Structure 1
Amino acid sequence: MIKIDFLLFGALLWSVYSFTLQGRIKGKNRIALLLSIIIHYLLNGARWQLYPAYLLSITLMLLNKNADKSVRYLIGAITSFSLIVPNIVPIIAFPNPGGVYTTGSLIHHWVDEDRDEWFTSKNKDDKRQFMLQVWYPGVDKEISEKLPFLDHLETRAKTVAAAGNFPSFLAMHLDLIKTNSVYNLPPESSAGLMPVLIISHGITGMRQLHTSLAEKFASNGFAVFALDHSYDANISVFPDGSIADYRSEITGHPDSVNIRKRQINTRVSDIRFIIDELERIQSGALRHPLNGYLDLGRIGVTGHSFGGSTAALVAKKDKRVKAVSVIDGWMNPLPQNVIRNGIDQPYLYMGRPSWIDSDYPSSPSISEIMHKNNNGPSHQITIKNTRHLNFCDAPLFTPIGKYLVEIGNIDRKRSVELVNQLSLEFFDKYLRQKPSAILSGSLNIPEFILSDNFEL
């Protein structure tokens, strides 16, 4: 619940208490309850999690005489339900990023004029475009409005719900969730040159599902760039209101392997285009608030699921990338030469114990082969009791998530904390030469299973 909810529930519970004692509520209580509903609505609007509370309030106000036992039982049931629902689908607070810097954020629409958009091949003039969000150390301000987790919710709700296989109304509160980031803060000059992290999401994913990871890095001095891979992403909403819908559902398609190969190459080109643009930003050729702040000799790429194999392939193809982290990566789309020959940059794979319940149970074995064939430092860590969606922010949104989607039995907040901390330690070690207690094995974390780690 958010703070204003306590006004409504305070008045409501007092009314229920009075009703329990007297069988009805008196005039003053009715007025107080009505005022609390009006104030709550004016300040916060209505949301579906509070419908049981609204129903209970109206019922209590309409009862003008002593209620019999059956009505009291009904009131008790509605009261319980009205308290449970906002707590199982809450307005969450994002984890404290933990770093020393306030997190600023920007949102961009970038177009690669040199690439045609093959997802919309019927439109010969369509160029590859995507939405990109940036997080960075920003100047602290005492009064600042935090960015919402999602924008354009009226457009996104149906597709977000479809990806999670739940009704769209269950997503209609997500724009009320605030992140830790402030829009368009001036960069913090004391942070100096900022190492760069680029984040690639998975199929049906979106950049926002890695918000806590981005904020963790930005608060610790990194400039973070996360994109929506158009047509692979859940949905992309462009500034003119047009959209790139999800067009990557090809399960059972007879040519699915070749389609995925084309997709991964498109994703790799997206990230290489970002790096090209970052070079223009750093040189001043492209005007941007981060002109002169980017350390392009220290670029890392990370990704979840399909984004993980994307990150590995980017590192293979582009030596400007100095370290790569694969987060429960779907490794099957990788070319065989990458698996057999590995990559040269420092590499981390973190993942769940098993993919046996997925369509691609061989994915971990591919990762193991690549881990052993890599030419640079290589780490592979399993996190116990996790499933695929423990490796993004999905577990944060409801305590019953493990009964609905691919979330394991590990504490939901703990899994996010472990993924973010391990990621930071890896990139700190190889981009900023900071020691890592986790990767060295000197810090024992019970949830981690470390494979043979190769330090070269």
Structure 2
Amino acid sequence: MIQFFWGGMSLPENVAVLGAVGLVLARWLPPGVRRPTTVAAGAVVAASTVVLVVVGLRWQLVPVLVVAAVMLSLAVPALVRRRDGRPAWRARWWLALPGTVVCLGLIATGPAAVWALPVPVFPRPSGQFAVGTSVLQWTDPDRPETATPAPDDRRTVVVQLWYPARPSAAGAERARYAGRTAHEAHVVFGALADYLGVPGFLFDGAADARTRSAPDAAVADTDGSFPVVLFSPGLGGVRTQNTAWAEELASRGYVVVGVDHPYDSAAVVLTDGTIVRTLVAATGDDAEDERRANGWTAVRAADLSFVLTQMGRLDRGEIRGPLTGRLDTDRAAVTGHSAGGAAALLAARQDARFAAVIDIDGAPRDPDPGPFHQPVLALSQPVDPAVNPTYLPALTHVLNLSTETGYLLVVPGSAHATFTDAPLFLPPVPSLVGTLGRTDALRMTIATTVAFLDATLRNAPGDLAALLTAYGEATVY
């Protein structure tokens, strides 16, 4: 496998960039070295291009290779004329200089684009366990699918498990990031791009990424059962959007269950290959959009309760799967990001089987809020009351309803996507992913949520409020 060197680029990519630069600058070299430099740089570009085509050419390198091709097309005729004894035509310096600057600028866009939109490199989990992952599909016979007109259509969800596993052999293949296959990963990221209104090729690197999990690995050979953490993604989001976080939790002895919500998630690929795309869209009518959002939240909350039921059946052996007899569903937390956080809050209020709840930057959407009987952790980006006057008061109201201790942590420098995998592969633009950086954002999310889960599901000692305060403005309810 080709490893990455400078700026997130592979060795052939770096060689192609250097070769293109050499072709551009050869015009300014003394006559005695101009020709061998052009020939050598051209050979380097040609060889690296062949390698890149074989292993996979990234769109970020296209401007680099276009410049190299243009420079070669100009250089080759000049070299041929010199061989025939005729003087080679050379542009005047005042014409060549701006052309050189433009070409170097185009070449620079390649490494810059690789840096801004890299292939995500998932951090190695720090816990004691290796991580396995498995994808399952379940249908609830008791719930009709309200998003379709077919009367016999029943609600189906796709879930992905991340769990403590036995170590895999050296060099074993790791799971893809956004799907079981390359096709599924590109379908999912293509749908996410459509949902966000950006060109799909921008996410090609993320769609090709590999995680730290081993597909369908054997469960860790250790005594005891594992607490369960359900996760619901953001509006239009997908089950894998917090993979780095899920892998870290699994390495620490939790089983994380990411849930795809069909007709809400950007795209869900069913086991038979059917692609279910989102039906979520704004209408322009605030009252109607609010009604629909509340309805989607209720469906998600019902999905989460159904998945918890299925996890119990999986533990009892009523469903085939890798974790029979290893799940402690009495120690189950329900979590979610954005719209998933709202669904987690609603699911916890309606389903007392959940022992704890984490809302990650999600505004509550409960038309009839009532008391919670679980501890709650809410993580939030800083929100200007002048921009959104209802968000923090609504969140505070929910936390005050809990009969257990609730925590609100407002994280300075965070944005909405800070709490997901997005900092690993999106441009580090503060409005998109905050200012915490690609790895520090993940460390913050892990540290705060693991501390809360350890305290609530494992009765770990320690001052949870003090730990949260280290990452932002923490309020205890």
Give the TM-score, by structure 1 length: 0.90
Structure 2 match to 1:283: 316
Is 1:124 the counterpart of 2:124 in the alignment?
Answer: no
* CA-CA distance at 1:28 after TM superposition: 4.4
Aligned-partner Cα distance in 2 for 1:448–1:391: 14
Structure 2 match to 1:31: 43
Letter matched to residue 13 of structure 1: L
85-94 or 146-155, larger mean C-alpha shift: 146-155
Residue ranges of structure 1 left out of the alignment (5+ in a row): none
Secondary structure of 2:212 counterpart: strand
Structure 1 match to 2:167: 140
Aligned-partner Cα distance in 2 for 1:443–1:374: 19
1:61 to 68, 72, 77: 72
141-150 or 162-171, larger mean C-alpha shift: 162-171
1:137–1:191 CA contact under 8 A, matched in 2: no
Structure 1 match to 2:82: none
Aligned-partner Cα distance in 2 for 1:440–1:256: 36
1:228 to 257, 260, 273: 260
* CA-CA distance at 1:420 after TM superposition: 1.9
Structure 1 match to 2:61: 50
Secondary structure of 1:180 counterpart: coil
Q: How big is each residue's C-alpha offset from its partner over 1:361-415, in whole Å with a ceiling of 9 and x where there is no partner? A: 4121111122223101211111012222222222221334435x4x333334322
Aligned-partner Cα distance in 1 for 2:393–2:468: 26
Q: How big is each residue's C-alpha offset from its partner over 1:408-433, in whole Å with a ceiling of 9 and x where there is no partner? A: 33334322221121111100111011
Secondary structure of 2:325 counterpart: coil
Aligned-partner Cα distance in 1 for 2:196–2:386: 17
1:117–1:126 CA contact under 8 A, matched in 2: yes
* CA-CA distance at 1:211 after TM superposition: 0.9
* CA-CA distance at 1:15 after TM superposition: 5.6
Aligned-partner Cα distance in 1 for 2:469–2:253: 26
Secondary structure of 1:61 counterpart: helix
* CA-CA distance at 1:239 after TM superposition: 2.0
CA separation of 1:232 and 1:37: change in aligned 2, threshold 3 A = same
Structure 1 match to 2:473: 449
* CA-CA distance at 1:80 after TM superposition: 1.9
* CA-CA distance at 1:158 after TM superposition: 3.6
Letter matched to residue 159 of structure 1: A
Structure 1 match to 2:238: 206
1:130–1:230 CA contact under 8 A, matched in 2: yes
261-270 or 176-185, larger mean C-alpha shift: 261-270
After TM superposition, what 4+ stretches of structure 1 lie above 6 angstroms from structure 2?
Answer: none
2:11 to 6, 9, 31: 6
Aligned-partner Cα distance in 1 for 2:275–2:153: 13
* CA-CA distance at 1:436 after TM superposition: 4.2
Within-5 A mapping of 1:161-240: 161-190=193-222, 192-240=224-272
Letter matched to residue 268 of structure 2: S
Letter matched to residue 421 of structure 1: A
Residue ranges of structure 2 left out of the alignment (5+ in a row): 79-87
CA separation of 1:355 and 1:311: change in aligned 2, threshold 3 A = farther
Secondary structure of 1:166 counterpart: coil
Aligned-partner Cα distance in 2 for 1:34–1:181: 36
Q: How big is each residue's C-alpha offset from its partner over 1:122-177, in whole Å with a ceiling of 9 and x where there is no partner? A: 22221111211110011112221112212324433442113333222212232221
* CA-CA distance at 1:37 after TM superposition: 1.2
1:191–1:221 CA contact under 8 A, matched in 2: no
Within-5 A mapping of 1:306-455: 306-331=339-364, 333-338=365-370, 342-354=371-383, 356=385, 361-402=389-430, 405=432, 407-437=433-463, 439-441=464-466, 445=470, 447-451=471-475, 453-454=476-477
Q: How many residues align?
A: 442
Letter matched to residue 439 of structure 2: K
Secondary structure of 2:318 counterpart: coil
1:153–1:172 CA contact under 8 A, matched in 2: no
Letter matched to residue 165 of structure 2: G
Letter matched to residue 352 of structure 1: Q
Is 1:247 the counterpart of 2:272 in the alignment?
Answer: no
Structure 1 match to 2:81: none
Q: Could you say which structure has the larger radius of gyration? A: 2
1:304–1:329 CA contact under 8 A, matched in 2: yes
Q: How big is each residue's C-alpha offset from its partner over 1:215-257, in whole Å with a ceiling of 9 and x where there is no partner? A: 1110111111011111111111112222221112234344333
Secondary structure of 1:299 counterpart: strand
CA separation of 1:268 and 1:12: change in aligned 2, threshold 3 A = closer
* CA-CA distance at 1:258 after TM superposition: 3.4
1:192–1:293 CA contact under 8 A, matched in 2: yes
249-258 or 298-307, larger mean C-alpha shift: 249-258
Secondary structure of 1:192 counterpart: coil
* CA-CA distance at 1:270 after TM superposition: 0.7
1:91–1:174 CA contact under 8 A, matched in 2: yes
Aligned-partner Cα distance in 1 for 2:223–2:252: 9
Secondary structure of 1:98 counterpart: coil
Secondary structure of 2:222 counterpart: helix
2:363–2:394 CA contact under 8 A, matched in 1: no
Aligned-partner Cα distance in 1 for 2:405–2:381: 21
Within-5 A mapping of 1:38-117: 38-43=50-55, 45-62=56-73, 63-64=75-76, 65=78, 68=91, 69=93, 70=96, 71-117=99-145
* CA-CA distance at 1:348 after TM superposition: 0.8
Root mean square deviation, CA, Å:
2.3
2:375–2:456 CA contact under 8 A, matched in 1: yes
Letter matched to residue 119 of structure 2: I
Aligned-partner Cα distance in 2 for 1:94–1:57: 33
Secondary structure of 2:242 counterpart: helix
Is 1:269 the counterpart of 2:302 in the alignment?
Answer: yes
CA separation of 1:23 and 1:110: change in aligned 2, threshold 3 A = farther
Aligned-partner Cα distance in 2 for 1:249–1:281: 35
